[in-house]
Amino acid sequence: MRRRNWGVAIVALLIGVGTVAVFRGQGTDEFLAAAREPDLVRLLDDLQSRQTRLDGEILRLQAAEQRLRTGTSAEALQEAQQRADDLRVLAGTTPVRGPGIRLRVDGENAFFASDLLNTVQELRDAGAEAIEVNGRRVVVNTWFDDAQDGISVSGSVVRAPFEILAIGGSATMATAMRIPGGVVDTVESQDGSVVITELDTVDITATAELPVSNPDVVVTG
């Protein structure tokens, strides 16, 4: 039987381009008032990390614009093609192959939507370029919610064991999963298990589908 439902259920995803904040039940102020100090510190750190990534993206785009303005037609075309490829990966509209990790999370009532959200955020902070959960691509408008017998990923329920694939620096992402109080500690404290495998090649073949309407989702930013 699924247990956790915090009133603030699910989900905030920031994947490089904007902030998605999703709340159910309690308001944001009530959630913040009830949060523990370590949770608030972690939230602040996450926001600061996201701001740093966004600032870096702005600088990268400004540099790309300058190169396009001053470069040759061939250079401009190459730059535009690279940007288009990057956007397709970000949007989840194309399969991706590269080094990365596989997480296998198992255990009854050991992994909830909020845990999956934390996992995705930790992976993104560690440099993940693409993420897949039980065959579902995680993109900017993905949302999670606790379901009776699993976790809803944008309306599609996935069940244990959960397999999470992430492409990026395998050692960095694996380390991020094992930080004290992080993903592995949380799952194990709930009598679950996590197996992390670093791989030279990870194939993420799932692509994003059209957004699923969810009346409880509020998107900002």
Q: Which residues sit opposite 150 in a β-bridge?
A: 147
* DSSP assignment letter at 212: P
Burial of 41 (0-12, 13-18, 19+ CB in 10 A): exposed
Q: pLDDT class for 156, splitting at 50, 70, 90?
A: very high
Mean per-residue pLDDT over the chain, rounded: 77
Average pLDDT on 72-101 reads 79
Among 115, 109, 90, 105, residue whose Cα is nearest residue 149: 109
pLDDT beyond 90 at 183: yes
What is residue 164's three-state secondary structure? strand
Q: pLDDT class for 87, splitting at 50, 70, 90?
A: confident
The structural domains of the chain, ordered by start, are: 28-204 (3.30.70.1880)
pLDDT beyond 60 at 218: no
> What does the pLDDT look like over 44-83, one tens digit per residue?
676 676 667 767 777 777 777 777 677 666 766 777 777 7
> What does the pLDDT look like over 7-51, one tens digit per residue?
333 344 443 433 333 433 334 455 455 556 766 666 667 667 666
Burial of 92 (0-12, 13-18, 19+ CB in 10 A): buried
Q: pLDDT class for 169, splitting at 50, 70, 90?
A: very high
Average pLDDT on 135-149 reads 90
pLDDT of residue 16: 40
pLDDT beyond 80 at 189: yes
pLDDT of residue 78: 74
